[in-house]
């Protein structure tokens, strides 16, 4: 899928219900984590996270790191600086203590990460040229006409599943409870945070322009931009924490 976050949609049926043998965080991050190496390494050709052995060498360790980063650093910042309609829904999870939960349920979390990663592999098998199901079903290798131009069916599926996934995620997000917000969530300094993030991300992009694997094709450019935004976001969050020391 061109949009990594769309992979979460396939685990929503499991995440929507309280199940003691699944971790919502593990499922959702696991569904995305193989693609995160494109962003974090600024290398859209690093595919080891999409290998079966890469699940244990790369995907599970990175997913656990991302889970702690999200709950301990990203979530509080998002609640504080997202628009009120979005912050209100994330605020529902504000008092979930990830560290305590992980200590008691680390096996469930790890298995959920693996399950989420397998769903990522499953979808990619339909939506990438070398994918197992693309090679198995010849119709996925054929062309369809899109706005007067031929496009391979598996490639079209990338965009269709991405769009459907985003719509399902938005629908799921809107259904989350919306509690009363404290005053700090309704603050007036939200634009400053996002402006600083864009400045930090732009500085990172300027620095990495010299890398030989950067900016080869448009879709590669998107992966690099996502990586810069990721690092820019956490740079601002870290800067805020250091400023309070």
At 47-105, the pLDDT tens digits run 889 999 999 999 999 999 999 999 999 999 998 899 888 888 888 888 889 999 999 99
Cβ–Cβ under 8 Å, residues 117 and 59: yes
Q: Reduce the secondary structure of 53-121 to three states and give it as a string.
A: CHHHHHHHHHHHHHHHHHHHHHHHHHHHHCCHHHHHHHHHHCCCCHHHHHHHHHHHHHHHHHHHHHHHH
Highest-scoring range by mean pLDDT, 39-53, 159-173, 200-214: 159-173
- For 199-232, give the DSSP string: HHHHHHHHHHTTSTTSSSSHHHHHHHHHHHHHHH
What pLDDT does residue 210 have? 61
The rounded distance, in Å, linking the Cα atoms of 124 and 31 is 11
| In the chain, domain spans | 4-182, 188-245
Average pLDDT, rounded, for the chain: 86
| Strand (E) or helix (H) holding 14 | helix 12-15
Burial class (CB in 10 A: 0-12, 13-18, 19+), 159: middle
The rounded distance, in Å, linking the Cα atoms of 26 and 46 is 22
What pLDDT does residue 180 have? 67
At 8-30, the pLDDT tens digits run 999 988 766 666 788 999 999 99
What pLDDT does residue 18 have? 63
Q: Considering only CA atoms, which of 153, 151, 146 is closest in space to residue 126?
A: 153
């Amino acid at each position: 899928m061109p949009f990594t976050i769309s992979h979460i949609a396939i685990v929503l049926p499991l995440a929507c219900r309280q199940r003691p043998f699944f971790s919502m965080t593990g499922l959702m991050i696991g569904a995305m984590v193989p693609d995160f190496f494109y962003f974090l390494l600024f290398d859209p050709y690093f595919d080891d996270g999409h290998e079966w052995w890469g699940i244990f060498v790369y995907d599970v360790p990175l997913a656990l790191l991302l889970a702690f980063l999200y709950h301990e650093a990203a979530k509080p910042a998002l609640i504080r600086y997202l628009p009120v309609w979005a912050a209100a829904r994330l605020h529902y999870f504000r008092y979930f203590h990830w560290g305590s939960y992980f200590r008691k349920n680390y096996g469930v979390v790890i298995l959920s990460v693996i399950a989420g990663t397998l769903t990522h592999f499953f979808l990619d098998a339909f939506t990438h040229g070398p994918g197992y199901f693309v090679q198995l079903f010849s119709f996925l290798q054929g062309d369809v006409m899109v706005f007067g131009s031929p496009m391979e069916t598996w490639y079209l599926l990338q965009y269709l599943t991405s769009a459907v996934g985003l719509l399902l995620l938005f629908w799921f997000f809107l259904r989350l409870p919306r509690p009363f917000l404290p005053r700090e969530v309704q603050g007036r300094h939200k634009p400053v945070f996002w402006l600083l993030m864009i400045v930090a991300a732009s500085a990172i992009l300027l620095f990495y322009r010299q890398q030989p694997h950067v900016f080869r094709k448009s879709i590669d450019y998107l992966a690099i931009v996502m990586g810069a935004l990721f690092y820019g976001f956490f740079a601002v969050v870290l800067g805020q924490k250091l400023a309070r020391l």
